[in-house]
Structure 1
């Protein structure tokens, strides 16, 4: 017996048609409303404001729309160097953080040691201290009169202080120290959910520990690495305090360029264009990373 067009498919199985529970839907919308409002006010509205500002010929009294500032940012060697350095810094910090965090996350997720809780406290302890305080701590360690130079001079290995700060790698060191807890916690949360029977099955089939890790454990923990990488990458892209304090004006990143244009030179359209380039570039990198992970998971 045929059914009329548009009839509920559940009727074919002798079940009553599914009805929408408007009360439950309203409750769900009310629960989501505060977060949606906060997202709109704290993210979408500033983003749209900056996007509009980047196309204005001047601010706060615009007379026309223009692409002049995007041409300036994308065609000026000064800004191109800052863009390249910013994304290079984010990529290097993300890779180093992932490599260093994985063994720690493995220990936290798989070890039965009684010292595991102490390791966990050591991992999250940097989160209890302000980024400014941690950056100042690295200046004390790496400065010309800091701990490392004093130790090397006391051992007679150097005659004068080594220039350990004001370099790309000093900023990398500070960013890795600040962001490694996010990577450890992201990877450990996924490793803890992997069934140990998978590795046991690989051992039974004759796989050695290295092959088991590469073929079983690592692919199953990719989601943890991916989530941690996104967090670390985005936080590094927008970092300002640590590059300022450890780079001492020698390692310019895009956050510093935005501050310089908007606060120092009071050139709001150029600063807005730099912010939009940073945002769009970050989004493109994350989209490409997501597509890569999708292809990897299918394989």
Structure 2
């Protein structure tokens, strides 16, 4: 006695009906058609430039492949100091932006709709202005005779000729002001979705306002803080205009070093090697961060 199947004999695999196969193939073809423009743009605007940069970074003077550009960068303490300064300042900027952005987002989420709208406008408004204009404004405020040094001098804290220009403090102040909206808006989107009854329940159970923030609001807002931190860090580590204008030639960063090599000394291969190192460095820093927070907060 033999058992019949869709294919007609025992032991042969069951195949889906022809109509199902046609629908599956049709769905795949439709998905491919819809995603084709986006994939094409990603290849054109991202994959090809990255590939060209990788090729330039390993291209030697005679046209062969070489690692001399990477060796030159990684073997020079001057360039390693630039990398360390860039990472250190970017982490500091990210921490300060989070410390300021979370309370600001919390206040914006708990005020009335009309006041929240005006606060959002005030946060977004600096983004409507060129980063160069904002940086020049900080140069006026932080430079010798500017409002901040003049105020500190009047308070007797510094000398008359004191200036914050060409210091790491100036870079941090300017970059935090530039990137704070990204942190605030990222946290605001998450805090707005937190159920107010959770805070009320914590207060009813005897928790103080600070304890409620620490044990209820902060853990629930962590996905927004993570997203904002990633934005702020990646933007600050690759920033060029603000660090160059506020820090000057005495405090170069990696992006400024790449600009110098590509435009002044015309060492395109060396500039490409620095770009690859910056890209890999960002991935190495962010990978553990994403791995630790991805499972808990997606």
Q: CA RMSD in A?
A: 2.7
- TM superposition shift of 1:210: 2.8
Partner of 1:211: 211
Give the Cα separation in 2 of the matches to 1:103 and 1:8.
Answer: 59
* Cα distance change, pair 205–65 in 1 and its aligned pair in 2 (3 A): same
Structure 1 Cα separation of the partners of residues 195 and 212 of structure 2: 13
1-side partners of 2:175 and 2:273: how far apart? 26
Q: How does 1:95-106 map to 2 (within 5 A)?
A: 95-106=95-106
Deviations 1:215-257 (A, max 9, x none): 2221111110111111111110110100111112122100111
- Look up the match of 2:53: 50
Separation in 1, partners of 2:136, 2:39 = 37
Does structure 1 conserve the Cα–Cα contact (< 8 Å) formed by 2:223 and 2:297?
Answer: no
Kindly state the Cα deviation for residue 56 of structure 1 after the two structures are TM-superposed: 1.4
Q: Give the match for residue 82 of structure 2.
A: 82
TM-score scaled by structure 1? 0.87
Name the structure 1 match of 2:196.
Answer: 196
Residue 287 (structure 1) aligned with residue 287 (structure 2): yes
Return the alpha-carbon distance in structure 1 between the equivalents of residues 267 and 66 of structure 2.
15
Per the alignment, in what secondary structure is the counterpart of residue 100 of structure 2?
helix
Question: Judging changes above 3 Å, is the alpha-carbon distance between structure 1 residues 233 and 159 closer, same or farther for their aligned structure 2 residues?
Answer: closer
In structure 2, the gaps of 5 or more residues are 6-10
Q: Deviations over 1:56-94 (max 9, x none)?
A: 122xx51x2112221211111011000001111110111
Taking structure 2 as the reference length, what is the TM-score of the superposition?
0.87
Q: Which aligned pairs between 1:138-287 and structure 2 lie closer than 5 A?
A: 138-151=138-151, 160-287=160-287
CA distance in 2 between partners of 1:199 and 1:6 (Å) = 58
Query: Which residue of structure 1 aligns with residue 35 of structure 2?
Result: 32
Range with greater deviation from structure 2 (154-163 or 69-78): 154-163
Structure 1 stretches lacking a partner, 5+ long = none
CA distance in 2 between partners of 1:94 and 1:71 (Å): 30
Residues 169-217 of structure 1: per-residue CA shift (max 9 Å, x gap): 1001000000100111100001111222333343444433333322222
For 1:185 and 1:245, the matched residues in 2 are separated by 27
Cα separation, 1, equivalents of 2:4 and 2:168: 72
CA contact (8 A) 1:105 1:187 kept: yes
Which residue pairs with 2:107 in the alignment? 107
